[in-house]
Structure 1
Amino acid sequence: MDDLIAFVQARIDEFWQIAATCEPGRWFPSRTSDDPKSFSRQGVYGHQYVEVPDCAQPRIAVTLDAAYERHIVHNDPAHVLSDLVAKQDRLKYLTHVAGGSWVDAGEHAQAEHLLRLEAAAYDWHEDYRPEWRP
């Protein structure tokens, strides 16, 4: 169980480091102003890609339509960090319950199952183990 907890904690830490290094307002979606689906300002070039000011390669993500752009925008660093705080809180709670001798077998099993579900979100990672599948 300790390896499973360490795996989930390591993924939270990885994503935290990536998102925490991004400053809000330093990137914006770039779409033409006549796109009624777009909720973002017009970019410098008016093309469908995300631009990052002060970046050697400003074109970082080609978007096919507004739906892709919305996905990028809704996964901005601030939203990711909020989600990671919630994951960290769940992990702390589940670790406490799974490791507690005061809980009954049903609570312990439920916490262990929920830890496996948390880890399953990262089943693509090379360190994920098949025996952790829920």
Structure 2
Amino acid sequence: MMGDLRVFKSGATRSEDAEEERFDLISPFAMQRIARVYAEGAKTHGSANWERGVPLDATLNHMERHLQMWKAEKKSGKKIGEDDHMAKVAWGAFAIMHYETAGPLDYGTLVPQDKLPSNDAEQENYDPKGILGF
């Protein structure tokens, strides 16, 4: 069943459900900067290397490192390295959102060793989100 329809001046119609995701509101400037990070990664690691899954702790560390460098740049007024640090922070956030939606989301060392499943029965009911409080 179709929802409400949006009617354009031309008489064409479109379902209103397209309003749930407003891609037209995403900054093209920010997207271009993030796209450059993806291009740089593709040159170094291969186009879809990141989609194999990077442990969450490594991704968060990557983001934190670039956030701190971005903050140091703002405080000192001096460029630190050649990286677009904020775009790399955003890349990490995009990667985590991808892993949350499509997998694989590897919690890495964020889950203490004594909380990891030790047998098949424990593995079946294992939920790292509960351990981490997510």
- Shorter chain as denominator, the TM-score bin is under 0.3
Question: TM-score, normalization: structure 2?
Answer: 0.25
Question: TM-score, normalization: structure 1?
Answer: 0.25
| Structure with more helix by fraction | 2
